[in-house]
Amino acid sequence: KKWAMLTAYDSPTAEILETQGVDWILVGDSVGMVLLGYASTVDVTMDEMIHHAKAVRRGAPKSFVIGDMPLKGVEKGAKQALVSAKRFLGEAGCNAVKVEWAGAETLETVKLLRQHRIPVMGHLGLTPQTASKLGGYKVQAQDVQSALALYQNAQKLESLGVFSVLMECVPFPVARAVTRRLQIPTIGIGAGRFCDGQVLVFQDLVGLAKKMSPRFLKRYADLDSVAQKSVGRYIKEVQSGKFPSVKNSFGMNETQKKVFEDSLNGR
């Protein structure tokens, strides 16, 4: 099976994804950059994540929804991560959480979450929360040492009971080797076609976000241009008086109109 996953941060988007039958919906901490105007994902709070996750659940009540654990929800260690994960499942109604790799401490976090029967997706390769330590937003695991480390870390995550591993910006031979080795699904974003599934940011896919155009991205629409033209037409029609027209306005029947006009005239 090939798994199709997309991000959603609001109810209308989630409804579209559920209607089209997407396998998994990720409420990504990428909401910070895509919708909230942050320079990176590191400033996203748990309260913001819960707010958006609840909206997604309302829009997609039947879907498998994954809450992305933000840095501020895990930076103090496994115990804090457990509290954050329980919020995703309890408050927001998520089915699972995603945890980015941040070193050996990540294994302790995943271990504790699994001990509490919380479904966890791992995230390896480019991890935006710690991108500054990885040399920025660039392809990871390009040398033998780092590629083997990723391969081994994927196995460690699987041994702890994660249900899937996401690999971001990883050379496809590495992603293929990991996919062949693991018994759980691998999800790729910039990791090539040999993964068991793929994920993209919804706004990137439909052309609503154009600040970044990574090589792995394929745009299936250009909604930004449609929106720009629509807003431009609206402004011109308001300024010219063309909008609203009679058909965009509410009237009164003749009796109501006469009573109202007589009232204005003091009759």
Give the residue numbers annotated as catalytic, written as ranges.
Answer: 168
Q: What count of Cα atoms within 13 Å lies in the side-chain half-sphere of residue 158?
A: 18
190 Cβ contact list (under 8 Å, min separation 6): 125, 126, 139, 168, 169, 170, 214, 215, 216
DSSP type of residue 182: -
Q: Is the dihedral of CA 144, 200, 59, 23 positive or negative?
A: negative
Q: Which residue has the tokens 């996953």?
A: 5
Q: Which of 92, 91, 86, 85 is nearest to 9 (CA)?
A: 92
Check: CB of residue 188 under 8 Å from CB of residue 167. Answer: yes
